[in-house]
Amino acid sequence: MSEPESPPDLSGDRGLQSVREKVYGGFFLLSAVISVLTTIAIVLALLGDTGLFFNEVSVVEFLTGLDWSPGISPKEFGVLPLVYGTVVVTIGASAIALPVGLLTAIYLSEYASPRVRSLLKPALEVLAGVPTVVYGYFALVYVTPLVRQYLFPSISTFNAFSASFMMGIMIIPMVASLSEDAMSAVPDALRNAGYGLGATKFNVSTTIVVPAAISGIVSSFILAVSRAIGETMIVVVAMGASARLPAVREFSLFGAAQIPYVHPADVFLEPGMTMTVGMVQVALSDLAGGTAAYHSLFAIGLTLFFITLVMNVISDVIASRYREEY
């Protein structure tokens, strides 16, 4: 009678493999530490020079001033015109990119065949790789003349409309790709349940899939908006470098008191300046280092960093709050 076989030894000698795993883990940890230290170094560099700027210019003047002219006397350091230009371009780009990107993601996720999806999604990602300066020159050379010819004859050569339009086109792939990934992660069981109840594909897409993927969709929106806020080359080429606030007009309704308003043409059809363009203008000027005008470059950078940080924190909060576990 044969003796029962002993169970196989599955532990084995993992000496060399354990060493390799520790090396890999140490390498990944080093990469993570370098990333964190780089971010901290950038923040500290911004804080140091921003502190020198605020020694000469008050924080209140910087945040509430209505004029920006760091190189021309009398020198003004109000950041509001730059924030206004950034907000205008971001809103215009979002109005184009967010709905178009979401509709594209719904098509890729719910309607497109695997073959069509395999062709369209890489094409979208290629669109995301086009250099931004190309978008800027396209807006200046093609979009603005077409808008002047067919829509708004009074549009300026440099304007916020063309910059917003091309920036919206630029961030569509980000919205579409990330949103499509979020919708593809929704289990098919939810879709099949909707079909079993008699829902159409449109109803399943809009009332089941999109709400189930809302955390990823909103995150893609906020990341795309943050990308638009930090864009430089498109607005440098297409929007110009005129730090301005729109004129406030007034009209009376049925003889009542004058009501102030801002005409949309003064917002989108005129040139402007974003925070990134303001930084480029200061960096390329003949301003001497160590002056308040030079240090304003870092104050703008810190303001922009804070805005994008807030946007990313909001994205993380929404993603964690509405994330579905399947």
Per-run averaged pLDDT (10 residues), the chain, 326 residues = 57 69 90 93 88 87 86 82 92 93 92 88 84 90 92 90 93 91 88 88 90 87 87 88 82 70 84 88 75 86 88 78 65
Confidence (pLDDT) at 4: 58
The backbone torsions φ and ψ at residue 261, rounded to the nearest 5 degrees and listed phi first, read -155, 165
Residues pairing with 77 in the sheet = 68
For the domain 63-322, what is the CATH code? 1.10.3720.10
Chain mean pLDDT for the chain: 85
The backbone torsions φ and ψ at residue 68, rounded to the nearest 5 degrees and listed phi first, read -130, 110
Q: Return d(Cα 242, Cα 267) in angstroms, integer.
A: 13
Cβ atoms < 10 Å from Cβ of 36: 10
Confidence (pLDDT) at 37: 94
Cβ atoms < 10 Å from Cβ of 284: 8
Cβ atoms < 10 Å from Cβ of 205: 19
Q: Return d(Cα 134, Cα 130) in angstroms, integer.
A: 7
Cα 322 to its chain centre, rounded Å, is 21
Confidence (pLDDT) at 33: 95
